[in-house]
Amino acid sequence: MTDLFVPGKGAAWGPVLLALTSGVLLALSFPDPGISLLAWCALVPLLVAAAGTTPARAALLGFVTGLVAYLGILYWLNIVMTSYGKLPAPLSALLYLVLAAYLALYPALVVWLARKGEEGGISPLCSFPVLWVAAELVRSFLLTGFPWANLGYSQFRTLPLIQISDLTGVYGVSFLVAFANLVFFRMWLWLRRSDAAYPVRSFLALLILVAATLGYGFAALNRPEQGPLERILLVQGNIPQQVKWQPEFASATVETYERLSRQGCRAPGTLVVWPESALPFFLQSEPQYAARVQSLAAELKSCLIAGSPAFEREGELTRYLNSAFLIAPSGALAGRSDKQHLVPFGEYVPLKGLFPFVNKLVAGIGDFSPGRELKPLETGNGKIGVLVCFEGIFPEISRAYVRQGAGLLVNITNDAWFGRSSAPYQHLSMTVFRAVENRVPLVRAANTGISAIIDSKGHVRGMTQLFQEATLAGQVRRGAAASFYSRHGDLFALGCLGASLGGGLSVWYRRSKKISANA
């Protein structure tokens, strides 16, 4: 038996239940609970359900799987929209459903194209993992991009497996997991059907891929880091979101960060990092507070990074920016990094002219504008790239910083609006890949957690608990050389996208030729 999709038997609702099962297994593969092993077989029920169906029905089953998976993964959006966006629960539920349905279109499209390809003579064993990666790449950029919960991210704790990310990005891990699902389906088919051939070649191919991946991974993990050491202090103020932007709490907020920084900074030359919007006012126009922060850096004799909104005047217009300010050990303002990739409906409202009734979900100042230039900050010990909030989930931003000489990535974020949900853990899991992809350490300061220190191999060397006032001190070894991925980017994923397009054209050509011959 060489075809993957073969005629199946069962009750009318059987395939739908199998598709639902795949969705549940996928959701459980990601934090929390993050049962990563489930990802290796999560798609098997979907493949069973799609066996022998029409491409349209297979797409519908893929949509069901995707919808259930994303409803499970992104349930925390309702916390954001109701608790902080002040949306009515029914409207929040509707928007949540719409986003999950949009994301579910991608697995639906993958299954549909795999079935179409099979009808055109292309084995799904080849097409399915390639199409899956191509879909993840497109989802990362289309409509501003939302690469949350790519399949490979489920494996963030399996360090020997994810080291190939310095070659392929997270997409290489996604490919391997998708391919394994295909092989396990073929094995299931062999066990269930006496006329099915034992999938010797596909099983051997999987063994070779896994062995090569783990071999590369263990070699990378045993390779000594070579960059200079740098002391780090992450400060987690745990400022409640309900009072964060109230002017009367500004002084108390600054006092909290001053106190924690003095307690945690043990030696001069430490890089002290405060979270996104740690200073809930315009540092540029608050000289009294600015003097306090600059004086603190001078007192500690250390560089200090502090998240604060910023503004730029353009004639009569004012552009607001979500920024990180770098203050030198002398107390002088040494630089500013502006957020490039803004959160739709969180930091700005897309197409606001067409939808004036739609407001931002997150409290604070008015709509932000993206920064004009992405450039690392120079600390005196080397360059750092600052990733503000969910910029950490976009590989191209981290890569751009490293290509410009950043030997350390700093992620500042405020995950308070996620509440006590899985979202902070999901957010953290994706930043692990930014460190491995570029072979640079990544340190993460979050207002309410999770703050963490991640080395260039993906080890989480320390992390804080959620909703606790805390500091986290440690040392990291700066990245010494750019990785293959840093230099060349998403060649692997682009190759999968190109192969998908090429396969589609091949199927279309052969079908057209067949129709012409029969005419």
For this structure, is 225 an active site residue? Answer: no
Residue 85: Cβ within 10 Å count? 21
Choose among 433, 420, 411: nearest CA to 149.
433
Half-sphere exposure of 93 (CA within 13 A, CB side): 3
Question: 130-134 long-range CB contacts below 8 Å, 24 or more apart?
Answer: 130/175, 130/496, 130/499, 130/500, 130/503, 131/496, 131/500, 132/107, 132/174, 132/175, 132/178, 133/171, 133/174, 133/175, 133/178, 133/492, 133/493, 133/496, 133/497, 134/493, 134/496, 134/497, 134/499, 134/500
Catalytic residue among 389, 391, 457, 496: 389
Take residue 376 and report the two structure tokens written for it: 């690392």
Contact 447, 278 (CB under 8 A): yes
For this structure, is 265 an active site residue? Answer: no
What percentage of the chain's residues is helix, strand, coil (to nearest 5)?
50, 15, 35
Q: Residue 166: which residues within 8 A CB-CB, separation 6 or more?
A: 220, 436, 437, 438, 439, 483, 484, 485, 486
The greatest distance separating any two alpha carbons of the chain, rounded to the nearest whole angstrom, comes to 85
Q: Please tell me the distance from the alpha carbon of residue 152 to that of residue 161, in angstroms, as a whole number.
A: 10
Q: Please tell me the distance from the alpha carbon of residue 68 to that of residue 210, in angstroms, as a whole number.
A: 29
Q: Please tell me the distance from the alpha carbon of residue 383 to that of residue 394, in angstroms, as a whole number.
A: 20
Catalytic residue among 339, 360, 375, 457: 339
Angle at 377 between CA 373 and CA 380, to 5 degrees: 155
Catalytic residue among 276, 347, 391, 437: 276
Half-sphere exposure of 208 (CA within 13 A, CB side): 6
Q: Which residues face 452 on adjacent strands?
A: 444, 463
For this structure, is 9 an active site residue? Answer: no
Which residues are designated catalytic? 276, 339, 389
